[in-house]
Structure 1
């Protein structure tokens, strides 16, 4: 993600048919005249972090998309084009030259220069800083020397300043999709003011991040309440059409939905599952659907003995009737998933998990018993994401089909669940959602399943998988890369560290006070296009 990555809400994933488009731009109840002096109110969950290199969930990334402008963004064909970068070029896919557009300034007035990217990336890559997105710098030369409790170095040898607006990035191995990666949040720059000393984050920076994007902070992060931003008039890119954005933090989606209906909230990014059947009636043309890149799955703590056997994991997958839950709970607004990558990326195949994706209660129970599966299963999920209904439905199926006791366990916030997982505290099976960081098959594989992946919370490690992933990254072209990535995905089907459940689409809504509300593949509202109406 802007951050796409871990999704707090049920984040009704992406439509398999790319013909699905937004249902019109919607309108307001007043004159329809745009009001550039008004702020809009958008629902999010409590972010885990607001430092670019530490933000790997969708609520934090939505906020950062207001405060920062990426080096590249993506067109309708998912091809990268320059935004804050003037050019990103390479003759060998190993040494890349990044030239910055002149005229960008941070919100404190500092001119954006090459050092701001180099300093931010070095900070993110340095292991003792414990940044969630450190993994994304792994391809840059010198990364290994920044790892461990006592690293050999503090800066990446692969980053070199040429002049104030130019720097080079030397990778350890060629990577054809490096330019595509640069749209991700971890690659945002940070100003000198973000650091109290070289490589040391200034106290309080995260509470009021300073970026170089279309909006600047208004006050500080009000935890569990709101993050407020206002238009940055010196921004050299496309100007927002609103004066500001209030990101209102909700613990329950149903409360956000009620606020949209009463015009006390302008945008809800995910319609609660219990309101899907009435949303079109409730909102009319203000109920929207658009393609997304979301992937919903159940994860195993593979480091725990009771879930260490792949046959136990496959049996649980076979005991879940994805089609029934998709219809009964999600009203067919999602699509059952039987693959580890989304249909939106090149290289997707429809059914890569084979028999483990086919519902068969009899086979599931026999396999489960033969593999010595546990008699009790816990499914942990974040209570602020609208997951209770489908988790309960899944538990009911596992009780009936495996003869086990199954309970759902809600953590108050997604950030709380991530914190427990990072500490490897026992949570049983746990719900996860992924929104792509950049449009590539590799992005559904590397961060989630490689040994050092930034979001590998299940402890999965397969050297052959890592090898195939590295070979794909170093392939000379996309076609050859996809062949390696597909082989790596086939290994996941053998090991089943997670259970693919659903792909879907964005299902969102807005009040009568806004128009031109669009949501992208990465679970973000377009903050430049949205308008307030009088």
Structure 2
């Protein structure tokens, strides 16, 4: 979630697409700067306020960046090619892609000295999967046998179980996982932070744990999360995992906007900004040179529509809104031409991406848009647009969209609902919004499926569902290679026809850092900045 993967949403556990992650092509980690390689010292990272720091409670990329240092998940994705590697686990195996046996590293502890065991993982997954807990990453566990018993479909129904039937602790370091259906790339899913282990304190008092998490990773929290100010980490001296932490300390400095963070980077008040504003790309390249990185991204922005609201129930209304938006003009004016206008639901870097999947629906055609709106009966205002205050460009592009809807469709009464990211996430997840909203998706792994399940999970923010769409996603999940891609593409066609989410643009990731640090490795996957690798060259 990311920011909404960034500001994210619930996501999915159903990847069976047998495309190698190495097929993601142009994505490359930022080129590391030559460094002394000496351990020690401290550095700072600019960050937007997270929503939670309990792994199963969040899918926000702001949170995930911090959690990446605090927790070791069973698996990790290599920053060079995205291939899956063991981390807290030492191995996994399955004869049928349904029953998986995971062996975990022995001799490791949480930051409070409690031993990390197979039960630490099982307990964490059960807590996230238990519906009444209301944890955001719940649906990541939907592939595991027994998930439905913890999440009954009937509204108000009581779960018939508190633990997943598909989890069995065989011994202190071995966990057997039984899935509902074959899922060949289950190990890739194990890299997501929700699959990290939790100590007993996490489930005993989740709220207290949220502001002072206790992990098993190379860094531990130094004090408590100071809301809207900072999060401090320090090296965990008893760490026995595979990620050797180089710096002694990391300070996450929380900013309300990327522009402010960029100014602070220029002034030397923060060392790393992984989200340089697109409008500052030319300036950043001039100022930072080899310490500026731009990479193709799987991150997408959408305009989400509450389809259960009668005013948005007709797909023609939704398509009219899409055709009234000048994506090319907005990305040029606000994002310096760095972001790419969307012609698909998925990022350009994703295997199986089709450059014009959206067709006329994503093409700017104000005359046709107005005709379509009138044919559908018009729109009764007010139109409320919801977005976060995490970045000034969100309000800028929402203002442009509002003006275009006024000018092109005659919708005169447009109101803004701007709020903190965590507040917006809560509002949208509860379905309390009364109009369109900024929806963002940051990939967990490079697959069309990750977008489809990530955006259109059961109970998603738009409120949209479609049986044919679900069947095609399931068909893709059960298939291999080109057959899987073809099924996912047909599902994408349905989502683009119905348009509960209007694709807007495909991000490019831009980062910059100070000259006092080195070995900066930033990938385009969930890990982002590899905190453990950064060296301090003072």
Same structural fold, with TM-score higher than 0.5 when normalized by the shorter chain:
yes
After superposition, what is the alpha-carbon deviation per residue over 1:170-202, rounded to whole angstroms, capped at 9, x for unaligned? 111112221211111111111123233xxxx45
**8 Å contact from structure 2 (residues 217, 236) kept in 1:** yes
**8 Å contact from structure 1 (residues 339, 500) kept in 2:** yes
Alignment partners' CA distance in 2, 1:19 and 1:362:
37
Task: Give the equivalent residue in structure 2 for 1:293.
Answer: 298
Task: Give the equivalent residue in structure 2 for 1:264.
Answer: 269
Q: Decide which of 118, 132, 140 is 1:136's aligned counterpart.
A: 140
Alignment partners' CA distance in 2, 1:203 and 1:395:
38
Distance change >3 Å, CA 232–CA 442, structure 1 → 2: same
Which region of structure 1 is more displaced relative to structure 2, 326-335 or 285-294?
Answer: 285-294
Task: Give the equivalent residue in structure 1 for 2:232.
Answer: 228
**8 Å contact from structure 2 (residues 384, 435) kept in 1:** yes
Task: Give the equivalent residue in structure 2 for 1:309.
Answer: 314
After superposition, what is the alpha-carbon deviation per residue over 1:336-371, rounded to whole angstroms, capped at 9, x for unaligned? 111112233322222222220111111111001111
Task: Give the equivalent residue in structure 2 for 1:342.
Answer: 347
The answer to whether structure 1 residue 192 and structure 2 residue 200 are counterparts is yes
Task: Give the equivalent residue in structure 1 for 2:481.
Answer: 478
Task: Give the equivalent residue in structure 2 for 1:60.
Answer: 63
Correspondence 1:15-414 to 2 at 5 A: 18-19=25-26, 21=28, 24-26=31-33, 33=36, 36-75=39-78, 76-148=80-152, 149-196=157-204, 201-202=205-206, 204-235=208-239, 236-376=241-381, 377-386=383-392, 387-405=394-412, 407=414, 409-414=416-421
Q: Per-residue deviation at 1:163?
A: 1.3
TM-score, L = length of structure 2:
0.91
For structure 2, the 5+ residue unaligned runs are 9-22
**8 Å contact from structure 1 (residues 395, 406) kept in 2:** no
Task: Give the equivalent residue in structure 2 for 1:503.
Answer: 506
Give the CA RMSD over aligned residues: 2.2
For structure 1, the 5+ residue unaligned runs are 10-15
Which region of structure 1 is more displaced relative to structure 2, 419-428 or 502-511?
Answer: 419-428
Q: Per-residue deviation at 1:529?
A: 1.9
After superposition, what is the alpha-carbon deviation per residue over 1:53-110, rounded to whole angstroms, capped at 9, x for unaligned? 1111111111110101121122333331222211122111111111112232211112
Distance change >3 Å, CA 23–CA 86, structure 1 → 2: closer
Distance change >3 Å, CA 464–CA 121, structure 1 → 2: same
The answer to whether structure 1 residue 423 and structure 2 residue 430 are counterparts is yes
Q: Per-residue deviation at 1:112?
A: 1.4
The answer to whether structure 1 residue 439 and structure 2 residue 442 are counterparts is no
**8 Å contact from structure 1 (residues 381, 408) kept in 2:** no
* SS of residue paired to 1:189: coil
* SS of residue paired to 1:421: helix
After superposition, what is the alpha-carbon deviation per residue over 1:486-511, rounded to whole angstroms, capped at 9, x for unaligned? 22111101110111111122112222
Alignment partners' CA distance in 1, 2:511 and 2:428:
29
**8 Å contact from structure 1 (residues 450, 462) kept in 2:** no
Alignment partners' CA distance in 1, 2:102 and 2:455:
28
**8 Å contact from structure 2 (residues 92, 103) kept in 1:** yes
After superposition, what is the alpha-carbon deviation per residue over 1:496-532, rounded to whole angstroms, capped at 9, x for unaligned? 0111111122112222322222321136211122122
Distance change >3 Å, CA 4–CA 410, structure 1 → 2: closer
Q: Per-residue deviation at 1:17?
A: 9.5
* SS of residue paired to 2:531: coil
**8 Å contact from structure 2 (residues 387, 437) kept in 1:** yes
Q: Per-residue deviation at 1:406?
A: 6.1
Task: Give the equivalent residue in structure 2 for 1:12.
Answer: none
* SS of residue paired to 1:411: strand
* SS of residue paired to 1:81: strand
* SS of residue paired to 1:433: strand
* SS of residue paired to 1:400: helix
Alignment partners' CA distance in 2, 1:522 and 1:24:
15
